[in-house]
Amino acid sequence: MSQNPKYSEHQESLIALVTHLSMSSWSARTPSNLAKALSIDKDEIEVVLSSFKGLFRKSKNKSKKTADYFYSLQIRHAKQWLNETDDENEDSKKPPLEVEYLTKLLDFVIFKAAEERRNKIAQLGPWIIAIASLIVAVLAIVVKSS
């Protein structure tokens, strides 16, 4: 698991997982079932689910079929908890998350990924300027020596 997971490195998987876990009848799913449903590598799904704890919640319950833990969206789990329904298993079907919640979650993921890209470019700028300055200085010395 990454110490500092990057939204920009997992943006497509995050969008797929958030959308699926928001809109499917199952409020909690295992990495194996998510991999099959989304056609995404199970290892990638496990990395994303375990790295982004603010978005995804690992259940204390395991699947009887695969022995994988169930994962749900934090917000969907919180809404179930408020309604006092905490049954996470293969047979527990719930209504989808409201569209406004899904929209906000997707906006958040997209914003964080874009912010990381902007920060990366901002950090790269000073290095480019420094290297360009060194090249100009070396060229000035070479021209002066000739």
| Positions of E strands within the chain | 28-29, 56-62, 69-73
Write down all domains in the chain, each with its CATH number in brackets. Answer: 11-145 (1.10.10.10)
Measuring CA to CA, which residue among 121, 35, 24 is closest to residue 73? Answer: 24
90/46 Cα distance (integer angstroms): 18
Instruction: For residues 137-145, give the mean pLDDT.
Output: 83
The string of pLDDT tens digits covering residues 31-46 is: 999 999 999 999 999 9
Q: What is the pLDDT of residue 58?
A: 96
Provide the token pair at 63.
């699947």
The distance from CA 36 to its chain's CA centroid, rounded to whole angstroms, is 18
pTM, entire model: 0.76
99-145 and 11-23 are packed helices; what angle lies between their axes, rounded to 10 degrees?
180
Instruction: For residues 127-134, give the mean pLDDT.
Output: 83
Q: What is the pLDDT of residue 86?
A: 56
Measuring CA to CA, which residue among 72, 98, 103 is closest to residue 85? Answer: 72
Examine the pLDDT at 108 and tell me if it is beyond 60. yes
For all residues of the chain together, what is the average pLDDT?
88
Tell me the CA distances in angstroms from 18 to 43, 75, 83, 146, one per residue in order: 17, 11, 21, 63
The string of pLDDT tens digits covering residues 2-34 is: 468 999 999 999 999 999 999 999 889 999 999
Provide the token pair at 45.
């799904």
Q: What is the pLDDT of residue 114?
A: 94
Q: Which three-class secondary structure state does DSSP give residue 31?
A: helix
The fraction of the chain above a pLDDT of 90, given in percent, is: 58
Name the residue with higher pLDDT: 15 or 80.
15
Examine the pLDDT at 53 and tell me if it is beyond 90. yes
73/97 Cα distance (integer angstroms): 10
Q: What is the pLDDT of residue 83?
A: 65
